Structure 1
Amino acid sequence: MSSAAPQGACALCDAPQHPGAPLALCLNHLLEAHEWVEDAYGVTDVLPSPCAFCGSRLGVRYPSGWLCAVCEWRVGEPPPPGPAASRVDVVYYLRYRDRIKIGTTANPAQRFSALPHDEVLAFERGDRTLEQRRHAAFATLRIPGTEWFETDERLLTHVAALRDGHPDPWALLARWRSEEAARAV
């Protein structure tokens, strides 16, 4: 019969070290350290609502509030007027079940709130002209009277090429907006 190795004492007090802890700390001191890390470095989590500036759903929660993890915009503050809120039109690819929507917008977060979708697949910088070219390129897959397309290997290959090197469409949009704002000043 084997017995487990005895746990040592907490490095800061006489309490037993918490089982499995990577540091010689008791549970109370581990929790204090955890709270300090949360306060100092924040906790990455899903934002309560999409970022008003870039539309990302990923945020960092601090005791003082939330920041967008993509563009670092403070949640609850409206986007700035003028150059910092530069318009960037995108052609978007949304997946809902086994179909893909190809559309265009300058405000994806707002647009997507009105559309059923399971996943944002990709963004491509462009306006209605590019959207119409994409609709024509995949016309044989188009569901009549809609901007929804059947999924096939050609369309998936196109989406994969757009995502190559840019797996997070929201981060790419934030970069485009940042570049546009820099050009405007």
Structure 2
Amino acid sequence: MSNACLAADAGCRGPIPDDAPVRLCAAHLGAIAEWQADHDGTVDLLPVSCRVCGSRLGVRFPSGWMCAVCEWAVGDVADGELPPPRLDVVYYLRYADRVKIGTTANPRRRFAAIRHDELLAFERGDRLVEARRHAQFSELRHPRTEWFRYGDELRRHIDVLRVGVDDPWRLHHRWRSELLAAQAA
């Protein structure tokens, strides 16, 4: 195997680093890294928090920044003439040893009216999804309410909804930003 940079035909005589993944000198490896960063972006902290989801993690491109969580272009503004998109969610609120399964398009306002200890999860869906969950967990239901015993079957369902989700609110913000982005397109 030759010790010459693969760009030797172009006159390169630079030494190849011992740990180089391909036979290129440091200068040519650097040029490839810069090209890749321009093409695919560089993950970095955003200069300001994302206005849509609040994340600080971004991807820097030569053309600007994009939120790494919700993919909102930093600096873009939603069309103020368009009504905000409706995002219906099924929510799971815990209070003591019970869980309320309900639906809303405005969770912050709704939760302010419900005594609870913890938001366990969100699931995208409207009253049809909520009705399916009420039927699915009917054996755990407190009669004539939307409250359920926090039994194993319900706990497993909520655990599935929480996979990869550290904070249900961040997931809700991402869904909302996706709808805003689709609306603006």
Please, what TM-score do these two structures have when normalized by structure 2? 0.56
Instruction: Please state how far the C-alpha of 1:157 moved relative to its aligned partner.
Output: 0.5
| Counterpart residue number, 1:119 | 118
- Note the 1:27-106 alignment, pairs <5 A: 83=82, 85-106=84-105
Unpaired runs of 5+ residues, structure 1, are 1-40, 43-52, 57-69, 72-78
| Counterpart residue number, 2:131 | 132
Q: Percent identity?
A: 56
Instruction: Please state how far the C-alpha of 1:151 moved relative to its aligned partner.
Output: 1.1
Q: Deviations over 1:57-96 (max 9, x none)?
A: xxxxxxxxxxxxx99xxxxxxx985547321000000000
8 Å Cα contact 1:84/1:181 also seen in 2: no
Does residue 153 (structure 1) correspond to residue 143 (structure 2)? The answer is: no
1:85 aligned counterpart, secondary structure: coil
Q: Please tell me the residue identity of whatever aligns with 2:138.
A: A
Q: Deviations over 1:29-65 (max 9, x none)?
A: xxxxxxxxxxxx99xxxxxxxxxx88x9xxxxxxxxx
How many residues are treated as equivalent by the alignment? 117
Instruction: Please state how far the C-alpha of 1:167 moved relative to its aligned partner.
Output: 2.2
- Please tell me the root mean square deviation across aligned C-alpha atoms, in Å: 2.9
Q: Deviations over 1:143-163 (max 9, x none)?
A: 001000011111000000000
Please, what TM-score do these two structures have when normalized by structure 1? 0.56
Instruction: Please state how far the C-alpha of 1:177 moved relative to its aligned partner.
Output: 0.4
Q: Deviations over 1:124-168 (max 9, x none)?
A: 000000000000000000000100001111100000000001121
Structure 1 Cα separation of the partners of residues 79 and 148 of structure 2: 36
Does residue 170 (structure 1) correspond to residue 177 (structure 2)? The answer is: no
Moved over 3 A (4+): 79-84
Q: Deviations over 1:76-117 (max 9, x none)?
A: xxx985547321000000000000000000000000000010
| Counterpart residue number, 2:182 | 183
Q: Please tell me the residue identity of whatever aligns with 1:140.
A: E
Shift of the 82–92 alpha-carbon distance from structure 1 to 2, 3 Å rule, reads farther
